[in-house]
Every structure is written in structure tokens, then in C-alpha cells.
């Protein structure tokens, strides 16, 4: 039994502009997250396991 192939929805007009602006803002903020706590925990786990 064949499945129906549906077209990919495309944003147009204001929705497309809003999406592009939100994506641009998200890319700028993306590099500003602090992962130091997660890195510290990972280092501790690796030391306990004998990998470091």
C-alpha cells in the first residue's frame, strides 16, 4: 500500500519574516550558554572511571 506524499509546508509573508528573525536571534544567543558545571561533572566521572 502506497503512502500519500505530502508537500512540505512553506512559510510566506509575515510568518516567514518572523521565523527568520527568531532563527537569527537564536543563533546569536546560542554561543552564550555556560556549560562549566556540566564539564566539571564530566571530568569528575572520567577521573573516577580512570580515563583521565
Please say whether the beta carbons of 26 and 18 come within 8 A: no
pLDDT of the residue at 23 = 92
User: Within the chain, how many helices (H) and strands (E) appear?
Assistant: 2, 0
Residue found under cell 566521572: 45
Please say whether the beta carbons of 13 and 20 come within 8 A: no
Quick check: pTM over 0.95?
Answer: no
DSSP 5: P
C-alpha cell at 29: 544567543
Give percent of the chain above pLDDT 90: 56
Using one digit for the tens of pLDDT, what is the confidence trace for 24-37?
998 887 777 788 99
Amino acid at each position: 500500500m502506497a503512502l500519500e506524499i505530502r508537500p512540505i509546508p512553506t512559510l510566506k509573508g509575515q510568518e516567514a519574516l518572523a521565523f527568520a528573525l527568531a532563527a537569527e536571534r537564536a543563533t546569536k544567543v546560542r554561543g552564550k550558554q555556560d556549560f562549566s558545571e556540566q564539564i566539571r561533572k564530566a571530568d569528575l566521572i572520567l577521573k573516577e572511571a580512570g580515563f583521565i
